[in-house]
Amino acid sequence: MPPNISIIFKDALQSLLNSVYPVKCGGCGKSGGALCNDCIDSFQRIDENTSCPICGRGMGIRSVCGECIKDERGFIEGRYGFFYEKNLREAIHAFKFHGRKDVGRALTNLLSEKIKGLSSTVDLIIPIPVTEKRLKERGFNPSFIISQVISEIIKKPVLPTVLIKGKETLDQSRLDREERLRNIKGAFSVKDGERIKGKRVLIVDDLFTTGATAREASYTLKKRGIDRLYFFALARAMT
């Protein structure tokens, strides 16, 4: 079955299941919707006024952290939604690993006010890609789903085929910092680089941990003459 037909079939099947079985909260499993009010209230949002403007690390004040001063990230500013913990972690797992695109969209829409601030900052949106193999297995790219919602909010185009991931990598969440850097090295390439030359680009991912993936993607894109590079992640690790 061709990949696009497979994805359409999976979406149709999910819609059918949702019509037969009550939709459950991605965070706690309670029936009633993609995210229940109790879970939404429990999600710890990242305050840009008290965190590093590049990596989102909690600082007490808005100030660049020591790690970002020491080790350049590749992008000039980052926007982060929630801390990756408790029910928020469960919601992202439901989104990424159990096909709950409705949960991913709901999480992103919760950040609409933060996202609106990007409308005058960026020209286009590029999701962190997955390999063809992973796309066929999962049926979708979580970063693309997030990018679609951001695009709807700020009215900027998504370019999902410019940044390509050709290298199969291990799950970054299972690796330490040095292993993550080695794992992701050389994973990305750019197709049709003229489309991004001179543009202000927003890279989008679902989760920021050590920043290894964001860094590798950033440096890959910067080689193609973009103007400025920004980063957005739905969630950030606590440390």
DSSP summary character for residue 168: -
In a domain, 67, yes or no: yes
Q: pLDDT tier at 17 (50, 70, 90 boundaries)?
A: low
pLDDT at 85 over 50: yes
pLDDT at 164: 97
What CATH number is associated with residue 232?
Answer: 3.40.50.2020
In a domain, 57, yes or no: yes
pTM of the predicted structure, to 2 decimals: 0.88
* Residue whose entry in the numeric block shows the structure tokens 């994805």: 7
* pLDDT tens-digit series, residues 26-78: 999 999 899 999 999 999 999 999 999 999 999 999 999 999 999 889 999 99
In a domain, 60, yes or no: yes
pLDDT at 160 over 50: yes
Q: What percent of the chain has pLDDT over 70?
A: 91
In a domain, 10, yes or no: no
Q: How many domains does the chain have?
A: 1
In a domain, 23, yes or no: no
Region 137-155: what's the mean pLDDT?
97
Region 144-155: what's the mean pLDDT?
98
pLDDT at 6: 56
pLDDT at 182: 85
- Rounded Cα distance, 110 and 168, in Å: 32
pLDDT at 21 over 80: no
In a domain, 11, yes or no: no
Question: The tokens of 90 are what?
Answer: 């469960």
- Chain centroid to CA 184: 16
- Find all residues with CB under 8 Å of 60, minimum gap 6, and list them: 50
pLDDT at 1: 46
> 138 lies in which domain range?
39-236
Average pLDDT in the chain: 91
* pLDDT tens-digit series, residues 3-14: 455 556 656 665
Residue type, 137: E
In a domain, 25, yes or no: no
In a domain, 33, yes or no: no
- Rounded Cα distance, 97 and 114, in Å: 26
